[in-house]
Every structure is written in structure tokens, then in C-alpha cells.
A = this chain, B = another copy of it.
Amino acid sequence: MNMHATALAHPNIAFIKFWGLADEARRIPANNSLSMNIGCLATKTSVTFDPALKADVLTLNDELVSGDGLARVQRFMDRIRHMAEKDLYAHITSTNNFPIGAGLASSAAGFAALTLAGTVALGLSLSEKALSALARFGSGSACRSIPGGFVEWVVDPLTGETYAQSIAPADHWELVDCIAILNQDHKPVGSEMGMRSAASSPLQAARVADAKRRFSRCRTAILSRDFAALSQITELDSNLMHAVMMTSNPPLYYWRPGSLAIMQAVKAWQAEGLPVTFTLDAGPNVHLITTRASVDEVLHRLRQFPEVIDIRSGIPAGPARLLEQDSPSRTVQV
């Protein structure tokens, strides 16, 4: 019997951001968040358990990983082993179709694919909800890359359970995410590390206190395909997160001058009537969300910025999915 599976997952871009944990040990987010999976980017992860191994071995884009990166994945694999009650280690091979460490949410896609491949390879058959709840222990936003299309990550106020679920499928709204990739002359603090300082900002409590209102407005904007409403709340939410970052102790500056130049250009383009909005994760890249009809115009304009070294554009994508399986698993619900 082999214990092998391969899964694919997409990164996601959040309209309502996750930044800060209400409970670090239980990985309960400070606020609910909302995102869209990004079609042009994907991570493929294979997991093969091997009784001969004494520890997990991780290969990322054909390079053997050691140190903190490996330890983080091993701790996550321990959770899967614990759930399956099996004491086996695995060869884990992950490849991205995009550069890692460029702020393209590689850890979200990576841990989503690993959650699916790892559990299936070890014979577990988890629901989408359970997969999502598990994925957050690898990387918070990874839980949003398990379901498809437009996704909410919620905390059940009664049970305290937290997981992500789809609010609309990928084909619900023909949006396009045009990602302006900027040069990173210094490696920013990773988001998992950075958000530990969120509570040191005098603004984090106010950001969180207002999150329910933003979440509700954004959810309605997505369900009713209201681009103007989505724009307003998406930019506000992105600015709120970066406001917390820049007022944390020590302050975290993820925006680069080129990021701000694009953000301000977007404001001018909106004034011209172009349907486009921006949002930034914990990095300098600017995600420009636009409609199918306007994507060529947005891409053309983005290419004028000397700071932009690459552009990727993707439509809303489906859920994490199994590509191959050769394991003792029964029905796999994904």
C-alpha cells in the first residue's frame, strides 16, 4: 500500500484582511476575513509517506529546505500525524508557478495544498470545513485557499470553531486580479511574524472593532456584484491593515514608493471612470482588481511604472483539489 497524494491550491487575495490573532494557540483570528482565489497562481504539492524516514524531507521548487522553513512544515505535519494516529514521515515536494518570497501568498497556497495532499496520503478523509480549519495552523490565510471562488473565513460565535467557506463560486463575478510585482530591495518581515506585533499598534483594536461592518458590506458587495462598493471597502480595509502595520512597535513598512505611486494612480483612474481598485498584502505588490472588460487597459497602464518588474493577472479560481492519489483513503470530500 502506497501513501501518496498530490494536490494543487491557489493563493488568495483578501478584500477584508486577516491581521492579528485573538487566540494565538488556537489560531483564532482577530476578525473575519474575505478573499478570492487567484487563478493564475498555483502551488502543486506531493506528499509521500515513507516508513524508512526518520523526519519529514521538504523540497521547494527543486531546492531542499532546512531551518525554520522546514521546522514550520514539520510542526504542521505533526498535526496530521496526530489526527491519523500514525507515526510516519514524508517526502514533501512543492512547486509554484510563481516566485516565492515575492509576497504572492505562497505560504497560503502551499499550506492549503499540503493540508489536502498530506491528509489524503495518510488515509484521512476530511470535509472541506475540516481541511480549512486544519490549514490555518500552517498559515492563517491558507484556510481561505481550501474552498473555491469567493471565500469567507469566519469564527462561529457560538462554538468558537473557525474555518473558511465559499460564499460564491469562481464564476460568480468576472473580476480579474492584476498583480503588479515590485522589486523587493529588502526582504519584508513575513506576515506570520509581523502580525504578532499587531496589538502593539494603538489602532489595531479600532481596526478589529470596525471589521464586522466592513465584512458585512464587502460580503454584500460581492454577492450583488457592486464594484463601486467593493472598491471603497477594499481600499479602506487595505489601508487600515497597513495603518496598523506602520504604527506597530517596531513599525512595519510594507508599502514601497512604487506601491504608493500605483495606489495614487488608481485613485486618478477611478476619477476617470475606470473600474479598478487596489489592495496590498504584507508586501509591496499591488493587487489591482478590475473587470474583464477593463483588464487590457489596466495592464497597459501598469506597464508604464518603472518600479513594476512583473505583472500576473488571474481570474477567480476554484478550490484546492486532488491531482493524484494512491493511498488508503476512502471517499475524499474536497
Instruction: For A236, give the chain B residue with the smallest CB separation.
Output: B247
Instruction: For A246, give the chain B residue with the smallest CB separation.
Output: B239
Our pick among B202, B205, B210, B236 for the contact of A251 (Cβ within 8 Å) is B236
State whether A260 touches B251 (Cβ < 8 A). Answer: no
* Interface of A: prevailing SS: helix
A195: CB under 8 A from chain B? Answer: no
A86: CB under 8 A from chain B? Answer: no
Q: Give the distance to chain B from A207, nearest Cβ to Cβ, in Å.
A: 7
Q: Mark A168-211, 1 if CB is under 8 A from B, else 0.
A: 00000000000000000000000000000000001101110110
Segment from A157-165, A216-224, A261-269, A318-326 that makes contact with B? A261-269
A227: CB under 8 A from chain B? Answer: no
State whether A246 touches B247 (Cβ < 8 A). Answer: no
Instruction: For A247, give the chain B residue with the smallest CB separation.
Output: B239
Q: Give the distance to chain B from A5, nearest Cβ to Cβ, in Å.
A: 44
The chain A residues found within 8 Å of chain B, CB to CB, are 202-203, 205-207, 209-210, 232, 235-236, 239-240, 243, 246-247, 249, 251, 253, 255-258, 260-261, 263-264, 267
For the A-B complex with A202-B236, A203-B203 known, give 5 more contacts whose Cβ atoms are closer than 8 Å.
A202-B209, A206-B206, A253-B267, A255-B260, A256-B264
